[in-house]
Chain A
Amino acid sequence: AQSVTQLGSHVSVSEGALVLLRCNYSSSVPPYLFWYVQYPNQGLQLLLKYTSAATLVKGINGFEAEFKKSETSFHLTKPSAHMSDAAEYFCAVSVGTGGFKTIFGAGTRLFVKA
């Protein structure tokens, strides 16, 4: 069965520092992987997605993620954190064919200190 594990329910970084949010997946077939961001009282917004093309995926707001099959990882990074990056981030894997069944990780709340 497919699953997603996000390491660290809370991550705190200083403004300007590197952001690294960890995600490991389990999938018996080549996965489609996603990172979403959720701001308070809002829905989810797609940051980026991996669909078996390039292993390094660039997303919005300066985020990127690298798919590493050998490590079953899809960590999200941003070189320099901004105060506006404070939010909850979800890693997700899409399973099945002919329709969506997205499995989300538990989420990582990112805090950015001034």
Chain B
Amino acid sequence: DAKTTQPPSMDCAEGRAANLPCNHSTISGNEYVYWYRQIHSQGPQYIIHGLKNNETNEMASLIITEDRKSSTLILPHATLRDTAVYYCIVRVYDGQNFVFGPGTRLSVLP
């Protein structure tokens, strides 16, 4: 599996966009980029995933660079409830387990 690198922590003001980066320079052509988040003492929650095109859903947008070596998760209007650890995971679509790195601890500040 491709290894991912994320900043350990970030702050974001409430109501502003939160942009969380992820580097995955060794990603393979058939590997997707998945984003999950984990709010304290809960199981991880699926946010979004993509292969090479940018993706958007009701929770977030995923921007993947053209060379696919990095991506950015965008929460357009962060709220206090978005405070969580965000995990970027690279995996083939029908692959088995996920390998979790340390993620990025996002703190949304009032």
The answer to whether A and B belong to the same complex is no
